[in-house]
Structure 1
Amino acid sequence: MRRLAAFSASFALGIYLAQYLLPAEHLLPLAAGCFAAACLALLLPGLWRKRALLIGTGLALALGWNWLYGYAVRDPLVGLSGRSGTASMTLLEYAVPTDYGAKVTVKLEGYPLGKVVYYGGEDLLDLRPGQTVTAQVKFQDAARLREDTITNFTSQGVFLLAYQRGEDAVYGEGSAGSPRWWPARAARAMQDHVAELFDGDEAAFLSAILTGDTSGLSEEARSDLSEAGLSHILAVSGMHCGFLMTLILLVTGRHRRRLLAALALPILVFYTILTGASPSVVRACIMVLFVLAAPLFQRDSDPPTTLSAALFLILLANPFAAASISLQLSFGAMAGLLWLTPRIQDLLLGEKSRGKVYRLLASSLSATVGAMVFTVPLCAVYFGSLVLISPVSNLLCLTASSAVFMLGLLAVLASFLWLPLGAVIGFLPALLTKYILWTSGVLASLPYHAVYLTNPYLKYWLVFLYGLFAAAYFLRPRARRKYAVATVLAAMSLAVTVWLGAPHYTRSGLDAYVLDVGQGESVLLSSGGQFALVDCGSRNSWYDAGGIAADHLATMGCGTLDYLILTHYDYDHVSGVTELLARTRVGTLLLPDVADDAGMRLQVELAARDHGADIRYVRAETSLPLGRSSLTIYPPGDVKGDNEQCLAILCTYGDYDLLITGDMNMAAERQLIAEYNLPDIEVLVVGHHGSKSSTSEELLEAVTPEVGIISVGDNSYGHPTEDALRRLVLADVDICRTDKQGTVHLSVN
Structure 2
Amino acid sequence: MRIYFLAFCAGVIALRFIPALPAPHWLLLLLLCALLLLRKLGWLAVFLLAFCWASWQATLLLNNRLVDEWDGQTVWLEGQVAGLPQWSQSATGQPVVRFELLDAQSRRTELPSRIRVSWYNPPLIKAGERWRLAVTLKQPHGLLNPHTFDYQQWLTSRAIGATGSVKTGERVRAGRGLAAWREALRDRLLLALPDTPARAGVIALVLGDGSGLSRAQWQVLQSSGTVHLFVISGQHISLVAGLAYALIAWLQRLALWPMRVPWLPVACGLALLSALLYGALAGFAVPVQRALIMVAVVLFWRLRYQQLASWTPWMLALSLILFYDPLVVLQPGLWLSFAAVAVLLLVFAWRLGRWPWWQVLTRAQWAAALGLMPFLLALGLPVSALGVIANIVAVPFVSVWALPLSLLGAGLLFWPAAAQFVLWLAAQSLTLMWHVLELGVSWQAAWNAPYLPWWVLLLAALAVFLLLLPSALRPAWLVLGLFIPLLWPPLTHEVRPNRAQIWLLDVGQGQAIVVRTATHTLLYDAGPKMGGMDAGEQIVWPFLRGERIKQLDKLVLSHADADHAGGAEAVLQRLPVLQRISGEPERHQHWQAQPCSEQSWQWDGVRFWQWQWSQATEGNEASCVLLVQAQDERFLVTGDLGVNGERALLDAQPDLQVDWLVAGHHGSRTSTSAEFLQHLQPSAVLISRGRYNGYGHPHAVVMQRLQQAQVKIYDTASDKAMRIDLGAHQKIWRMAQQRAFWRDGVQE
| TM-score, scaled relative to structure 1 | 0.72
Amino acid at match of 2:591: I
Task: Establish whether residue 549 from structure 1 lines up as the match of residue 529 from structure 2.
Answer: no
Alpha-carbon shift at residue 333 of structure 1 (Å)? 3.8
CA contact (8 A) 1:561 1:587 kept: yes
- CA gap of 1:405–1:361, structure 2 versus 1, over 3 A, is closer
Amino acid at match of 1:368: A
- CA gap of 1:514–1:429, structure 2 versus 1, over 3 A, is same
Aligned equivalent of 2:624: 648
- CA gap of 1:558–1:171, structure 2 versus 1, over 3 A, is same
- CA gap of 1:460–1:665, structure 2 versus 1, over 3 A, is farther
Distance 1:78 1:113 in 2: 6
Aligned equivalent of 1:461: 456
Per-residue CA deviation, residues 464-498 of structure 1 (Å, 9 max, x unaligned), is 5457789x89xxx9974753112221343444436
- CA gap of 1:214–1:582, structure 2 versus 1, over 3 A, is farther
State the secondary structure of the residue aligned to 1:126.
Answer: coil
Distance 1:626 1:219 in 2: 41
2:722 corresponds, among 736, 742, 746, to 742
- Greater helix share, structure number: 1
Per-residue CA deviation, residues 320-343 of structure 1 (Å, 9 max, x unaligned), is 3343333244334433443x4346
Aligned equivalent of 2:337: 330
The size of the alignment, in residue pairs, is 682
Amino acid at match of 1:284: A
Aligned equivalent of 1:267: 274
Aligned equivalent of 1:186: 185
- CA gap of 1:35–1:492, structure 2 versus 1, over 3 A, is closer
Aligned equivalent of 2:368: 367
Aligned equivalent of 1:135: 133
Distance 2:318 2:527 in 1: 37
Task: Establish whether residue 695 from structure 1 lines up as the match of residue 672 from structure 2.
Answer: yes
CA contact (8 A) 2:669 2:701 kept: yes
Amino acid at match of 2:132: T
Alpha-carbon shift at residue 215 of structure 1 (Å)? 3.9
Distance 1:460 1:434 in 2: 39
Judge which range, 325-334 or 11-20, deviates more.
Answer: 11-20
Amino acid at match of 1:534: Y
Alpha-carbon shift at residue 132 of structure 1 (Å)? 1.0
Judge which range, 624-633 or 509-518, deviates more.
Answer: 624-633
Distance 1:440 1:25 in 2: 54
Judge which range, 9-18 or 721-730, deviates more.
Answer: 721-730
Distance 1:210 1:92 in 2: 18
Alpha-carbon shift at residue 295 of structure 1 (Å)? 3.9
- CA gap of 1:231–1:360, structure 2 versus 1, over 3 A, is closer
Distance 2:608 2:570 in 1: 27
CA contact (8 A) 1:241 1:284 kept: yes
Alignment of 1:77-88 (within 5 A): 82=70, 85-88=75-78
Alpha-carbon shift at residue 78 of structure 1 (Å)? 5.0
Structure 1: unaligned runs, 5 residues or longer: 596-600, 606-612
Alignment of 1:203-222 (within 5 A): 207-208=203-204, 211-219=207-215, 222=218
State the secondary structure of the residue aligned to 1:743.
Answer: strand
CA contact (8 A) 1:592 1:617 kept: no
CA contact (8 A) 1:505 1:511 kept: no
Distance 1:67 1:298 in 2: 38
1:485 corresponds, among 470, 477, 495, to 477
Distance 1:234 1:368 in 2: 17
Amino acid at match of 1:186: L
CA contact (8 A) 1:334 1:371 kept: no
Per-residue CA deviation, residues 242-281 of structure 1 (Å, 9 max, x unaligned), is 4445665676665655665455433322333443544433
Aligned equivalent of 2:432: 431
- CA gap of 1:76–1:261, structure 2 versus 1, over 3 A, is same
Distance 1:716 1:37 in 2: 49
Distance 1:664 1:276 in 2: 51
- CA gap of 1:181–1:360, structure 2 versus 1, over 3 A, is closer
Alpha-carbon shift at residue 722 of structure 1 (Å)? 7.9
Alignment of 1:108-127 (within 5 A): 108=103, 115-119=113-117, 121-122=119-120, 126-127=124-125
Distance 1:180 1:432 in 2: 30
State the secondary structure of the residue aligned to 2:431.
Answer: helix
1:523 corresponds, among 494, 497, 513, to 513
- CA gap of 1:530–1:246, structure 2 versus 1, over 3 A, is farther
Per-residue CA deviation, residues 553-600 of structure 1 (Å, 9 max, x unaligned), is 4466655546544435666545655654564355776666599xxxxx
Amino acid at match of 2:372: A
Structure 2: unaligned runs, 5 residues or longer: 253-263, 729-748
Aligned equivalent of 1:173: 173
Structure with the bigger RCO (C-alpha within 8 Å, sep 6+) is 2
Amino acid at match of 2:484: M
2:295 corresponds, among 281, 285, 288, to 288
Distance 1:534 1:192 in 2: 48
Amino acid at match of 2:172: G
Alignment of 1:506-655 (within 5 A): 508=497, 511=500, 513-517=502-506, 519=508, 520-525=510-515, 531-537=521-527, 546-554=537-545, 559-561=550-552, 563-568=554-559, 572-573=563-564, 576-577=567-568, 579-581=570-572, 583-585=574-576, 614-616=590-592, 621=597, 632=610, 634=612, 644=620, 647-650=623-626
2:157 corresponds, among 155, 158, 161, to 155
Amino acid at match of 1:517: D
CA contact (8 A) 2:134 2:169 kept: yes
Alignment of 1:219-368 (within 5 A): 219=215, 222-223=218-219, 225-226=221-222, 230-245=226-241, 248=244, 254=250, 257=264, 260-296=267-303, 301=308, 304-338=311-345, 340-342=346-348, 362-368=363-369
State the secondary structure of the residue aligned to 1:121.
Answer: strand
Aligned equivalent of 2:259: none
Aligned equivalent of 1:27: 27
Aligned equivalent of 1:608: none
- CA gap of 1:211–1:691, structure 2 versus 1, over 3 A, is farther
State the secondary structure of the residue aligned to 1:150.
Answer: helix
Q: How well do the aligned residues superpose, as a CA RMSD in angstroms?
A: 5.3
State the secondary structure of the residue aligned to 1:695.
Answer: coil
Distance 2:128 2:36 in 1: 46
Amino acid at match of 2:181: W
- CA gap of 1:163–1:198, structure 2 versus 1, over 3 A, is closer
Alpha-carbon shift at residue 107 of structure 1 (Å)? 1.8
1:497 corresponds, among 485, 489, 497, to 489
- CA gap of 1:318–1:556, structure 2 versus 1, over 3 A, is closer
Alpha-carbon shift at residue 92 of structure 1 (Å)? 1.2
Aligned equivalent of 2:736: none
CA contact (8 A) 2:84 2:127 kept: yes
Alpha-carbon shift at residue 370 of structure 1 (Å)? 2.8
Amino acid at match of 2:152: I
Amino acid at match of 1:105: E
- CA gap of 1:511–1:36, structure 2 versus 1, over 3 A, is closer
Distance 2:354 2:272 in 1: 39
Amino acid at match of 1:743: R
CA contact (8 A) 1:249 1:260 kept: yes
State the secondary structure of the residue aligned to 2:639.
Answer: coil
CA contact (8 A) 2:64 2:161 kept: no
State the secondary structure of the residue aligned to 1:662.
Answer: coil
Amino acid at match of 1:341: V
Aligned equivalent of 1:609: none
Task: Establish whether residue 105 from structure 1 lines up as the match of residue 106 from structure 2.
Answer: no
CA contact (8 A) 1:286 1:310 kept: yes
Amino acid at match of 1:522: A
| TM-score, scaled relative to structure 2 | 0.72
CA contact (8 A) 1:93 1:128 kept: no
Aligned equivalent of 1:451: 449
- CA gap of 1:496–1:313, structure 2 versus 1, over 3 A, is closer
Distance 1:342 1:119 in 2: 46
- CA gap of 1:626–1:425, structure 2 versus 1, over 3 A, is farther
- CA gap of 1:323–1:170, structure 2 versus 1, over 3 A, is same
Alpha-carbon shift at residue 135 of structure 1 (Å)? 2.9
Amino acid at match of 1:409: L
- CA gap of 1:497–1:161, structure 2 versus 1, over 3 A, is closer
Per-residue CA deviation, residues 123-148 of structure 1 (Å, 9 max, x unaligned), is 65612122111134455554799999
Amino acid at match of 1:369: L
